[in-house]
Every structure is written in structure tokens, then in C-alpha cells.
Amino acid sequence: MDWLGRAKLDFHASATPITVKEKDGSSKSFVDVCKETVPTCQLNPLLFNGHLQTCWTAAIKHAPPVHYRRKLFEADHSGYAGSFAVDFFAKDPSEEEDDSLPPRTVYFSKDELLKIGSDDSRPMLVVLHGLSGGSHEVYLRYAIAPLLESGAWEACVVNSRGCAKSKITSGLLYNARATWDVRQTVKWLRETFPNRPLFGIGFSLGACILTNYLGEEGSGCQLKAALACANPWNLETSNNALNRTFIGHHVYSKVLGTAMKKLAETNKTEIKKYTDFDLEKISKLTYLYEFDREVQCAAWGYPTENAYYRDASSVDSVMAIRIPYMAINSTDDPISSYEALPVQEVKQNPYTVLCTTSLGGHLGWFEPGGGRWHSRPVTNFMNYMAFEADLEPLQSKSNGGTKTYHGGAMFDPSKRTQIPHPFWFVPRAKVAERNFL
């Protein structure tokens, strides 16, 4: 056990990391940047292992109050029909309340939407939440609140379809490969706020989605830098580790499965309208892998949940990232298993650094007094990248990680079998939604 809550920090990186130039003319290696922006990890000594840190997240509900205004988007890709909700940080909270939305969230008015564009150059954070979560999540608000409270940042949270009281409007739900809504949001932000540098942060499943997106974009990515917290990385490995223990199987997998069942129940009217899913059968499921087997496989054409996990994992995607990227994981995380950490993959990519803490659980990192440690490296890293680093010279001309090996064989870490569906499987969405191929 680490002494009195003092977690050990380790950094995994390429032997030849990129060099980050600073606006004052100096420069330093990217791994040194990460080491300097990650502070000492002193956690609550009473929460002395990953289970206690993780379970405590269910007991603590208070967090900095972040207010939002919501905009609905219609998908601009015919293969991913439907709508999704993006919540934008609101500096001036509305006095009105909307019970149809999460707390502290209202819709933009028509006049506000007409005036939403801006030529300012304030840095903007694009945020992705965890499984079945949303912009209201406690861990998310703890992480981004210090940046927003400084008055120097803007932010928006891309809510996965059906999450944060958004409604699904097609047979397409979301999964760990759901990068299309992020891509459309970033494109819209670039057009609407042409001078704002964009940065990304993801939590848990959102960290997996973000990493997959960055790998798919490669050297063409519009984000300047990104950070991932508690990414489950290799979903098959993390799932196997989760179900290997009694508490993992009967507590964590059950809690996560229940959350997804609740999401399906909340959207049951829409699910009945747009899919052929058996809602009665879904209501009787217990564990997350059962939900993935019944829903993700049916929706996306995977033959098994493990096929989905392998295809949607982000361990290979990390090798195709071509912007400064730091990941933070706790090695005692019972949900994002240390066995799944892409240590060797990170070492192949000079743009990436993996920081591990020996304590913290899954998005816990509770400090003495109730604070959340992960907000500190998030704030430090983002402020450095936005205000001290000169990121323009880092625009890469690389091939996105593709390598040619003996005999002409190619390995492309950003390649996926599902584009958007394996053609040999037929999704179980209703015929009206089968416009993927």
C-alpha cells in the first residue's frame, strides 16, 4: 500500500519524444512537459485502494456548478442518421430551469443561436463523458471547472446519443467507436469559431472514443492537444479482468449494466420506433457484457461482444495520433484494467505520453478534504498547451502511423473493420434506417 495516500507516478513515453517549442523561444521534450504539469498525487489515505476510491464516487454528489446551454445537431453523415446534443458552457447562467434537461442546463434560444458565432481566439475544450453519463457528471465538472472559472476558456460537452436526457432519433445508438458526432462537432466549431484553438479531453469510455477519433484523424486533426482520463483501452482485456473477480463481476459489471438498462428504459419509446430490439429481454439483463451482447452486437452487426470490444478498442489508435496527447490511468483501477494499458504502443509514438498513478481507482482520485486530484493535471496541461506552447510547428506530415514491413505487408493503426458496419453482418435496426452501405 502506498504510504498515507501518496501515489507513485510513472511516465511511459517514446525514447525520442517530440520537442515542444514555447512562445518565449525556449523548448523542451513533450515527456518533460507532462512531468512538469502533473503534480504530486496525494490522495485520501482512508481510501487506500482502487475499490474504495471507485465506490466513493457513488457517495459524493457535490461538485463545482457548471452551467450549460444545449444545441441539437442533426447528423451530417447519411450513414449515421439521427440527432445528438452538445452542451456549451454558459458564463451567464439562465434563471430559468428546464426539467426535461439535466440540472443547470437550458436550450439556447433562437436569438442566441443566431448570434453564437465569434471571431475571438479563446481556447475551447471539447469534452467527452463516460459510459451512460453526460455534461452533468461530477468527475467531469471537477476536471473542467478550474479552467472555466479562470475566465480564459470556453468548453462544450458532446453528449452521446440518448445520454444526459437527450433523445435518440434513429436506430443508431452510440458505442466506443462512435467518433462521428465528435467529428461533426469539431468541424462545426472550426467553422463557427475560426480563431479558437480547440483541445480535447475524454473520460473513461469518452477517453476511448476520443483516442479513436484522434487516431482516425491522424495528422489532419483539428485539435491542438488532448488528454484522456481512465481510458479502458483494450476493451476485451478490461472486460475479462472485470469479470475475473467477484466484486468486478457482481458489482461493477452489474452497476454498469444497470446504467445501460436504465438508458434503454428512458428511451424505450424511441427504441420501439426505430429498432427491433427486445426491450423485455433487455430489462432482464444484469451485466454490462450482456447488454453489449444483446444491443451493441444487434445494432452494429458484431457476432459477439468480444468482436465489438476488439474492434472498438483504442490501443492501436494511440499509435496514429499526431498531436500532443497525454493519458492518465490509475494502476489500481478495477474497471480500466492495468493489463490493458498500451505501454509498448505509447513508446512507439513520440506524440504520446502515458502517466500512471498507483492509487486512484476509476475516476476517483479523491484527495484529503474531498477534492479530485485529476483536475490538477488537467488544468496544468491544458493551460500550458493553450498559453505557453507554440503548437503550430507540430503540424505533422506523417502517414498517420502506417508502416511497411517485410514482403510489403502494411500495418495501419487507424484502420477499422467497421466502416460503418462490417458488410457481412446486417444490423437489426429497422429497414428505414438501413442506409449504411
Residues with catalytic roles: 204, 333, 362
CB 309 within 8 A of CB 340: no
Strand partners, 155: 125
SS3 category, 35: helix
Q: What is the DSSP string of 319-347?
A: GG--S-EEEEEETT-SSS-GGG--HHHHH
Distance CA 181, CA 159 (A): 9
Cell matching residue 275: 429498432
Beta-sheet strand order (sheet of 352-357)? 9-13, 352-357, 325-330, 223-229, 198-203, 124-128, 154-159, 83-89, 68-74, 105-107
Beta-sheet strand order (sheet of 19-22)? 27-29, 19-22, 389-390
Number of Cβ atoms within 10 Å of the Cβ of 30:
23
DSSP class of residue 8 equals: -
Cis status, amide bond into 420, omega within 30 of 0? yes
Distance CA 362, CA 365 (A): 8
Residues contacting 356, CB < 8 A, separation 6+: 9, 10, 11, 12, 328, 329, 330, 331, 338, 341
Q: What is the DSSP string of 158-174?
A: EEPTT-TT----SS---
